[in-house]
Amino acid sequence: MSDGSLPLVQKCLSYCQSNPEFVPAFINFEELFADMKVYEQLLPVYRLALQLENKLNDTSMEVGAESYVSVLGYYNSVKLAAKLDAPGAKAIYEDLAKRFVRESKAAPTQAAN
């Protein structure tokens, strides 16, 4: 339920209590009231969980970006070492370079008329 719907539900619950003659027979008011009580108890926990999720996402994005920048430094060092024929650098460079291979776009084929 969105924040916009909550006031309507709360208002209807209040009317159900003050004017029970309008509650249709197919609605179990006690269950509706109990459901809303649980909803209202869960809402603060849910909001805290959303905040935690956002903070975890922000943190993981930050440390991921920092890690990526660091390994780019390593990759560039290995790349330079491979150009200078440093022993063992070429194999590492070729393995890591696979990440940076770009696929060329094939020329579109023309349909035969």
Q: Domain map of the chain by residue range?
A: 6-100
For 42-54, the pLDDT digits (tens) are 999 999 999 999 9
The span from the CA of 56 to the CA of 95, in Å, is 32
The span from the CA of 107 to the CA of 102, in Å, is 15
Q: What local confidence, expressed as pLDDT, does residue 37 receive?
A: 93
Which has more confidence, 65 or 103? 65
The span from the CA of 39 to the CA of 32, in Å, is 10
81 pLDDT above the threshold of 70: yes
Q: What local confidence, expressed as pLDDT, does residue 67 receive?
A: 96
Could you tell me which of 89, 64, 62, 63 has the C-alpha nearest to residue 78?
A: 89
pTM: 0.58
Q: What local confidence, expressed as pLDDT, does residue 49 receive?
A: 98
